[in-house]
Every structure is written in C-alpha cells, then in structure tokens.
Amino acid sequence: MWVRNFPIDPLTEVFRNNCFSHALERSFGMADEVKSFPPEVIDRLKNYVYRLIDPRNGETFYVGKGTGNRVFAHIHEKFGEDDPGTKLKRIHDINLAGFEVAHVIHRHGMDENTALEVEAAVIDAYPGLTNIATPMDSGRSAMHAAEVVQLYGAEEADFRHKVMLISVNRSGLDQTLYEATRYAWKVDPEKANKAELILPTMHGLIKGAFTKVKWLEATAKNFPGRETRPGRFGFVGKEASNEDKKNYVGKRVPDRYRKPGSSNPIRYTWK
C-alpha cells in the first residue's frame, strides 16, 4: 500500500512556509477586526472550506466545511475536562499559551457538494489532523497512479450478504486493518448488528473482511488502550472465512455505494 509520507523538497517547503506566514500575518492582523461575518457577507460566502492553524508551529490541525460563522464558532469552542476531542484540547492549549487560533478560508461561494469535494481534497493534503469525521471514500481521493490502475481494473463486488462498508482511508495507515476497522463509529447498534460481514475499504477497494461478534460502546473499559469516544461504537470480531474473503477482498465497491463528497464513512448494502 502506498503511504503519503513522502519527503518535501526544500523549495516546496519554503513555498509552503511563506504561504503560511502570509496567511498567518493576515489572520492576526485582522483578528481584532473580524470576529464574525456580517449578514451581507454571509449571503455571498455560501459554503466554504477552512483550515485551523496552530500559530506556535504553523501546523494545520483541522479542516472544516461550513456556512455562516462556522469557522469562528470552531475557533472559540470551549474545552471541557470530560471532552476527549483532540481538536478542542489543541485550541485550549493554544489559548493557554497566550495565542489565538489562526485560520485560512480556502475556497468559498460553493454549493454544498462542491464544498464537500474541496474539503476532502484538503483533508487528504494534511495528514495527522484532529478531524474525527472523515469524508466517505468516493474512490477519488489522493492515490498513486498504480492505485488508480488497480482501482479501475478491479472487478466490481457483488454483495450476496448484508454488508457494512467502512472507509478506513486515513485510520488504516498507522495500525492493523482490524484495529482501523473496528473503532470507533457513529452507528445504530441495532442496524449494525444485522450486518453479516464488515468490509473495510480504502480508495474504493475492499481490503479485508470481518465478522462481528458484538458491538460495544466506544469506551476505554470496553476497548483497553483506546480513548473513550462518547456516542460512538466499536465491534469485537474476527476475520471472515476464506470463502467470504475470496468473494470480496480486492474487488471494487460499486459506484452506488460511493456517493461523492459524503462525509459518512459507513455504508450499508441493505435498507
């Protein structure tokens, strides 16, 4: 599997740092002037995509899509002691250090579907974000040319079971496929328990097959070594049979299950 942790040449690094510096200077220069968008601007702004930046090191830590004053609402969110979210903790730490979160509006004036596509592309460009929700795998995210050939040359899957598809594009890069697939998702446990197979996907291709034993609340108690994720669930399972893996692994997810721009990484093959 191709991993996007490639080195950046010095010229590109200088360019990116300069771009960040100018954006950061503009952000701080206007910080006292703009705390929200006026109504006449919101009307023209429509859907937009933005980045939140840590001014201490220039690192982008969150990419979002919104309308109205969404970006300012995120910047000024408060951190609670019982909140495990890394985004809010990062904002809290920035404020404690005496700084304000910097931001860049990447694109604006878009319809929602276009904004979802732009958001997904920007998320691809910044690994290690604090985003919890990630865009659904449309099969058109960042990949190597060899992966593009593999994707479009693969046979389309024919689902003969009640299958739950889980996109693991980002979480699958730094842990085993089983661990990336089983934790932690916003699902209806009643519906999820009806799935006969759970298939992790990456760039539109099915990468594995698991059968679940049971779904549990995503807590450190139920999943030792993991952070508690309120409102989310994980499953305890095992690898599917060799026959089931032969039927699905390496095959392409049909287009009807890969809605472009959708932010939900979960798909069911039944209603």
* pLDDT tens-place string over residues 15-30: 444 455 455 555 444 5
Residue ranges for the chain with pLDDT beneath 70: 1-33, 78-85, 132-143, 150-151, 169-173, 259-263
Same domain flag for 111 and 169: no
What pLDDT score was predicted for residue 85? Answer: 62
Same domain flag for 258 and 189: yes
Domain annotation covers residue 61: yes
Nearest one of 267, 268, 265, 266 to 123, comparing CA atoms:
265
What pLDDT score was predicted for residue 21? Answer: 47
Residue type, position 196, single letter: E
Residues facing 166 on adjacent strands: 200, 266
The C-alpha atoms of residue 108 and residue 89 are separated, in whole angstroms, by 27
| The model's pTM | 0.59
What pLDDT score was predicted for residue 245? Answer: 96
Same domain flag for 120 and 167: no
Same domain flag for 165 and 113: no
Among residues 77, 97, 125, the one where a domain terminates is 125
What pLDDT score was predicted for residue 6? Answer: 41
Same domain flag for 150 and 259: yes
Among residues 125, 157, 179, the one where a domain terminates is 125
What pLDDT score was predicted for residue 33? Answer: 64
Among residues 91, 125, 159, the one where a domain terminates is 125
Domain annotation covers residue 22: yes
What pLDDT score was predicted for residue 55? Answer: 93
Do residues 129 and 61 touch, judged by C-beta distance below 8 A? yes
What pLDDT score was predicted for residue 87? Answer: 84
Do residues 100 and 31 touch, judged by C-beta distance below 8 A? yes
Same domain flag for 118 and 14: yes
- Both tokens of residue 202? 């990456």
Same domain flag for 61 and 150: no
- The separation between the first and the last C-alpha atoms of the chain, rounded to the nearest angstrom, is 32
Same domain flag for 154 and 118: no
Domain annotation covers residue 83: yes
Same domain flag for 165 and 105: no
The C-alpha atoms of residue 226 and residue 184 are separated, in whole angstroms, by 9
Burial of residue 79, with CB atoms counted within 10 A of its CB: 0-12 exposed, 13-18 middle, 19 or more buried = middle
Domain annotation covers residue 134: no
Tally of structural domains, the chain: 2
Quote the domain boundaries for residue 90: 10-125
Same domain flag for 117 and 150: no
Same domain flag for 199 and 242: yes
The C-alpha atoms of residue 245 and residue 155 are separated, in whole angstroms, by 14
